Amino acid sequence: MNAISPSNTIRTGTSAENLRQAFLDNLVCALGRLPNYASAHDHYLALALTVRDHVVARAVQSFEQGVVKMMRRVAYLSAEFLPGPHLANHLLNLGIAEATREALGGIGIDLDRVLAEEEEPGLGNGGLGRLASCYLDSLATVEVQSIGYGIRYEFGIFDQVIRDGWQVEGTDKWLSGGNPWEIHRLGIAKQVKFGGHTETWTDDQGRTRVRWVPSIVIKGEAYDTPITGYGSGTCSLMRLWKSEAVESFDFEAFNHGDYDRAVEQKVDSENLSKVLYPNDELHRGKELRLKQQFFFTSCALQDMLRLVAMSGGKVAAFDESWAVQLNDTHPAIGVAELMRLLVDEHALEWDDAWAITQKTFSYTNHTLLPEALEKWPVELFGSVLPRHLEIIYGINHRFLDEVRTAFPDDDARLARLSLIDEHGARYVRMANLACVGSHKINGVAALHSELLKKTVLADFAALWPEKFDNVTNGVTPRRFVALANPGLAGLLERELGAGWPGDLSCLGRLEPLAADPGFRREWREVRLANKRRLAALIQERTGIVVTPDSLFDVQVKRIHEYKRQHLNLLHVLSLYLSIKRDPDAGVVPRTFIFGGKAAPGYFLAKRIIRLVTATGELVNQDPDVAGRLKVVFFPDFNVKNAQHIYPAADLSEQISLAGMEASGTGNMKMSLNGALTIGTLDGANVEIRDAVGAENFFLFGLTASEVSALKAGGYQPQTYYESDSLLRETIDFIASGALGGDPDLFRPVVDNLLHGDPYLLLADFRAYLDAQQRVGELWGDSDAWTSSSILNVARMGRFSSDRSIREYCERIWNVNAKPSQT
C-alpha cells in the first residue's frame, strides 16, 4: 500500500470522523491550542493544516506522474497572481466540503465562520493576475502539468479604506496571520546576478564565449502553493520567489570592515520582492520593477533547467520539456535570459539556442493602452542587465536582417520593428522582444486580437501573420459560481447533475427552464437571498441601508477613466435631477454599487471615487428620493469581496469606451451568475452578447471603428454638451459645487470632460441613458427579466477558463488536455 494514498491515515482520511480527528490533532499538536481556548483564527489554521495534508499528498503524486511520464509541462510566467482564499476551493475540489461541515458541526464549529477567517494573497492588481489564477485552476482540472512562476511579494496590493469619502491606502499584511498554504522549499534556491560587466574568454574547444561578472548576486528562494483541480488528481503549482541576500557576499564586505555596505546589500536584496507595484496599465520606468521582472524570470528558467535535468531530459531539447507562456511583457526578459543560459552557461550555438527559445515561448498581450507598453531606457537596462543588452542587440541584428529581406528599402518599418526605440532617447521595447522570441502571440478576446493586428502589433502581424491567434479569456466556474453562489449551485446540481462545474457546456440544458414559471420563482428566490446577504454586508461595511428588492446595478473593477465609472455617475445624477424636478417621476428603485481600487498616484481616479461617495452622501439621504436611489462605494474590492458581490448583481456595467478594454473578466463572472449586461461593443462583451443573444443584452455606444473615426475628425465634447440639455444640466450640477461641499472638488473631472474628454463620455451619454431606460422597462416585467437572466447563465458555458486553457493547449502549447465531455 502506498504510504501517501488517501484514506489510509488519519491525516488524509475523508470521513467526517477522520477529518474531525485530524482537525483536533492539528489544533493541539501543531498550534498548541486546547479546543476550549481556540479562537476562530485558530480553527481556520487547524482546518487549513488538515486540508493541506490532502492537498500536498495529491501534489506530490501529481508531480511524480509528470516526472515519470516526461510530459511537456506548461510554465505560466506572471508577475501577478490573485488566487483568492484557498480553503473553500480545496474543499470543493477534493469533494470533502460536506464531510468537513459535518465534522466541525459535530463539535459546535460553523464552517462558514471558519472560512471567513482566511486572508487572501493580494499578489496582483486586477484582471491579469486573476486570469493567471483561473488558468492554474483550469490547468489542474484538465490534467496538464503546470507551474505558475511569480514573485512572493511581502506586501501585495494595498488595502483600501474609505475615509471621509476618499480612498486611503493601507499596507497589505497577508502574511501576518501565518500562511498555511505555502511550503518553503529550502532546497530550491537560485542565484540571480545584477549589474557589473561582461568579459570574453576562450573555452577548451577554442570557442569565444562570454562571461557575465555581476556587481551583485541575489538569492531567490522558492515558496510552493499547490493548486488543486476540480475532480482531478492533477495539481498545479504556484511557485513564488522571495529574494534574500547571498550570505557569502555580505560576509566578504563585512570581513573587510565594510559593515555599511554589507548591511546595505542585504537590505537591497531583501527589498526586491518586498512590494507589488500598484499601477494597473501605467508603465513608469522604475529600476526596481525591472529588477523584479528579471529576478523571478531568471529563477523560473533556472528552475525549469533543473527540472529538465531531473527528469532525464536534454537542455538541447528544452522546448520539448517546457512550453513557457509570457503573461504580458512583464516576464519578456525571459527571452534574453534563456538565450544567455543556453549560450553562455550551457555552451549551445546561438542559432540552436534561438530555435529552442522561439519554440519555447509564446506571448499574451493584455492591453492596447500605449501608456501600459513597457520600455526601458537603454542606459538603465544596460546598467542592470549588461549581458542581456548585448544579447538583445544580437537578436535585433539578426532579426532586422530578416526584415530587410522581407521588406527591402523600408527604413520606417525597420525603425518600428526594432527592439530598440531610437526616436530621441533610446529604449528597449519589451513587446517587440516578446514578439520576436515567441512562436505564438495572442490577444484575450476576438476584438482585442483583431485590434492588436491593426494597431500596436501591426508590423509584426504583417511580417508573421501565422504567429497571431486569439484565445478569449475565461473564468473558473468553481470559484465564481459553485463557491460564490451556493444557491444557484444547488439549482444547477439538481437540474444538470453534480459534475456541472467540470463541464459548463451542460448549462445549455437550462434553456427550456427559462419558460417555466416554477423554476423562475426558485431562480428569483436564490437571487433575492444573495442580495439580502450583500445588503447586510454593505450595511456592515458602509453603514448604508439598501433594499434587496431594488435593482442592484453593479460596476466593480479597477478605477480608470477608460472604464468610465464617471459615465455611470452621470446616469445616476441625471436620475437624481429628474426626481428633483418631479418627485413623482417614474424611476425604478435602484442600488448603484461601485467598487475598485485607484492607483495611489492616479489623481483623476481618486477624484472619481470621491465623486461616487459624494453622490451617495447627497442621494441616499434626500427625502425627495425616498429611498428609490442608493449609491454605495463598497470598499476594498478583492477576490473575497467579489465572491459576495457578483452573485447579487442584477445589472453588470461593462461600459468602457469601445476598443479600450482588452477583454474584461468581471463581465463573464456576473453574467454566469445571472446578471444582465449593459455594455459597449468592447473586449469580450462582443462575444458575450453573441452568446447570450442581442435580446438579452443592453447594448449602447460607439463601435471601436466609430471611435477612431470620431477622434480622427477632431472630437469636440462641447458640441454634445451644448446640444443635450440633460447632459448640460448634469455636468453643470457637478460643476456647481453641490456635491461634496467644495465647489472646486470636481472641477478637474468637469474640465477633463469639457476640454478633451479622452474617453468620449459625452459622445456616448445619450445612448447610455437610452439603454438604461430599456433596463428600467425590462425590470418592470419580472418574468421577462428572470427569463433573460436564466438564458444568460444557460448560454455562458463557453466562458469557462477550462475552454480557454484547452485552446492554449491545442493551438499554442501543443500539450494534451483531458478531452471535454462534449
Catalytic residues: 366, 557-558, 563, 665, 669
Cell numbers standing for residue 785: 427579466
| Binding site residues, ligand 26W, CB under 6 A | 125-128, 131, 279-283, 328, 366-367, 372, 374, 444, 473, 661-665, 683
* Distance from C-alpha of 676 to C-alpha of 657, rounded to nearest angstrom: 19
User: For ligand 26W, which is the closer residue by CB, 286 or 521?
Assistant: 286
Parallel/antiparallel/unpaired status of strands 468-470 and 438-443: parallel
User: For ligand 26W, which is the closer residue by CB, 145 or 292?
Assistant: 292
User: For ligand 26W, which is the closer residue by CB, 66 or 664?
Assistant: 664
Q: Which residues contact 232 (CB under 8 A, 6 or more apart)?
A: 140, 141, 142, 143, 818
Amino acid at 1: M
User: For ligand 26W, which is the closer residue by CB, 283 or 440?
Assistant: 283
User: For ligand 26W, which is the closer residue by CB, 371 or 783?
Assistant: 371
CB 470 within 8 A of CB 796: no
H/E element holding 526?
helix 517-542
For residue 314, report the phi and psi dihedrals to the nearest 5 degrees.
-115, 140
Helix, coil or strand: residue 364: strand
* Distance from C-alpha of 434 to C-alpha of 580, rounded to nearest angstrom: 55
Parallel/antiparallel/unpaired status of strands 73-77 and 322-327: parallel
Helices (H), 119-258: 127-141, 247-255
User: For ligand 26W, which is the closer residue by CB, 126 or 226?
Assistant: 126
User: For ligand 26W, which is the closer residue by CB, 117 or 374?
Assistant: 374
For residue 660, report the phi and psi dihedrals to the nearest 5 degrees.
-105, -40
Rounded to the nearest whole angstrom, what is the least distance from the CB of residue 289 to ligand 26W in the complex? 8
Q: How far apart are the first and last CA of the chain?
A: 36
Give the position of cell 486611503: 168
* Other Cβ atoms within 10 Å of 486 Cβ, number: 16
Tell me the chain's radius of gyration from C-alpha atoms. 27
Rounded to the nearest whole angstrom, what is the least distance from the CB of residue 295 to ligand 26W in the complex? 16
* Distance from C-alpha of 105 to C-alpha of 128, rounded to nearest angstrom: 38
CB 216 within 8 A of CB 193: yes
Cross-sheet strand order for the sheet of 375-377: 375-377, 427-429, 420-421
Rounded to the nearest whole angstrom, what is the least distance from the CB of residue 475 to ligand 26W in the complex? 10
Rounded to the nearest whole angstrom, what is the least distance from the CB of residue 430 to ligand 26W in the complex? 9
Rounded to the nearest whole angstrom, what is the least distance from the CB of residue 366 to ligand 26W in the complex? 4
User: Which residues pair with residue 730 across a beta bridge?
Assistant: none
Rounded to the nearest whole angstrom, what is the least distance from the CB of residue 135 to ligand 26W in the complex? 10
CB 83 within 8 A of CB 476: no
How is 293-357 classified by DSSP, letter by letter?
A: HHHHHHHHHHHHHHHHHHTT--GGGHHHHEEEEEESSTTTTHHHHHHHIIIIIT---HHHHHHHH
Rounded to the nearest whole angstrom, what is the least distance from the CB of residue 285 to ligand 26W in the complex? 10
Dihedral sign (CA 225, 229, 231, 233): negative
The closest alpha carbon to 219, from 247, 190, 253, 197, belongs to 190
How is 391-434 classified by DSSP, letter by letter?
A: HHHHHHHHHHHHHHHHSTT-HHHHHHHSSEE-SSS-EEEHHHHH
User: For ligand 26W, which is the closer residue by CB, 141 or 656?
Assistant: 656
User: For ligand 26W, which is the closer residue by CB, 13 or 126?
Assistant: 126
User: For ligand 26W, which is the closer residue by CB, 18 or 665?
Assistant: 665
* Other Cβ atoms within 10 Å of 297 Cβ, number: 28
User: For ligand 26W, which is the closer residue by CB, 336 or 447?
Assistant: 447
Rounded to the nearest whole angstrom, what is the least distance from the CB of residue 570 to ligand 26W in the complex? 22
* Distance from C-alpha of 795 to C-alpha of 586, rounded to nearest angstrom: 33
* Other Cβ atoms within 10 Å of 244 Cβ, number: 16
Give the position of cell 502574511: 175
Cell numbers standing for residue 806: 484547452
Amino acid at 259: Y
The closest alpha carbon to 605, from 633, 572, 577, belongs to 633
State which residue has the least CB distance to ligand 26W.
127
Rounded to the nearest whole angstrom, what is the least distance from the CB of residue 444 to ligand 26W in the complex? 4
The closest alpha carbon to 817, from 146, 130, 227, 94, belongs to 146
CB 640 within 8 A of CB 83: no
Q: What is the DSSP letter of 479?
A: I
User: For ligand 26W, which is the closer residue by CB, 441 or 734?
Assistant: 441
Rounded to the nearest angstrom, the gap between the alpha carbon of residue 270 and the centroid of all alpha carbons in its chain is: 26
* Cα dist from 84 to 124, 386, 471, whole Å: 11, 38, 24
Rounded to the nearest whole angstrom, what is the least distance from the CB of residue 666 to ligand 26W in the complex? 8
CB 565 within 8 A of CB 572: no
Rounded to the nearest whole angstrom, what is the least distance from the CB of residue 429 to ligand 26W in the complex? 13
Rounded to the nearest whole angstrom, what is the least distance from the CB of residue 664 to ligand 26W in the complex? 5
User: For ligand 26W, which is the closer residue by CB, 132 or 245?
Assistant: 132
Rounded to the nearest whole angstrom, what is the least distance from the CB of residue 597 to ligand 26W in the complex? 12
